[in-house]
Amino acid sequence: MKTLFLLLASALPALADWKTEVTPAKLGPHPKLTPLAVEYRLTWNGMLNAGKLNFTFGAPDPKFPSDYNAKASGGSSGLASTLYKTKFTMMSRLDPATLRPRVAVGVADEGDEVNTTRTTWTGPLVKSEQTIRITKNGKSGTINSEFRFTPVHDIFSAMLHVRSQKLADGDKLVIPLQPFDKPYLMTVNVLGHEKFAGRDTIKMSVALQKIDPKTKALLPYKKMKSSTLWLSDDANRIPVELRSEVFIGDVRMTLSGTRKL
């Protein structure tokens, strides 16, 4: 399921100095997303109903009234779950003014192990604590890591920042993000505006590279070969469909429903 999240976020030729090309972490002119629940169905190598993915954006949380809250959950189902069993939950608390991340917690259950990652953002420092518990014997271990750079997004803030930009044909966004315990560089290119699945959409290519947290050198991300995203060209600007060629095959995430919160 980590891979599914990284898809939202294909190795490219290394940028000469990617740090100088990073898109500023300033919200663009498109209005903020109103509180919304979004549902997706997953298709894997032609298997329908291979899983589902649910997002909520901006739902009030009495425990964290001063944060913008975003959550996601999902997993594999049907025949796909017998071949690749996974389920996850993830939550993020963002600064409501800037939509930059403060704290993110993700739990991924892949059957034989459960991986829990807690990440915090403090100025230029991103700290992650990852605990892996072996299901069979209950043993666990914890790994701590740091990445010093700014700006660095989580998956939710990256989605919200991309949708806020102008997104004219030919626009390019370069976004460092840390969806779990490791940093990546996401490059988004706006390919054009077109009708897709009966909607007005913005077509984009999405590519990921690993970032070495110490040297900040770019490394190939071999688990994802290519990815194409269609974003709704409307007030919501939410993903309509994501198609990716990854190490487990062809994975597609297709919008199945929305609900105002």
> What confidence tens digit (pLDDT) does each residue in 30-60 have?
999 999 999 999 998 877 788 999 999 999 9
The CA dihedral of 50, 246, 131, 175, to the nearest 10 degrees, is: -120
Per-residue pLDDT at 175 exceeds 90: yes
On whether the CB atoms of residues 208 and 219 are closer than 8 A, the answer is no
Here the tokens at position 21 are 């090309």
The stretch 241-261 carries a mean pLDDT of 91
Alpha helix segments (H runs only) across 60-178? 78-83, 155-164
On whether the CB atoms of residues 251 and 7 are closer than 8 A, the answer is yes
On whether the CB atoms of residues 213 and 180 are closer than 8 A, the answer is no
Q: For residue 19, what is the DSSP state?
A: G
Here the tokens at position 68 are 């913008």
CA neighbor of 71 nearest in space, from 100, 38, 43:
38
Helix, strand, or coil (residue 21): coil
Q: pTM to 2 decimals?
A: 0.90
Per-residue pLDDT at 222 exceeds 70: yes
Q: For residue 24, what is the DSSP state?
A: P
Q: What is the per-residue pLDDT for 162?
A: 98
What is the per-residue pLDDT across 71-100, written as a single tens digit (0 to 9) for each?
Answer: 999 998 877 777 778 899 999 999 999 999
Which conformational region is residue 238 in: left (phi greater than 0), alpha (psi within -120 to 50 degrees), or beta? beta
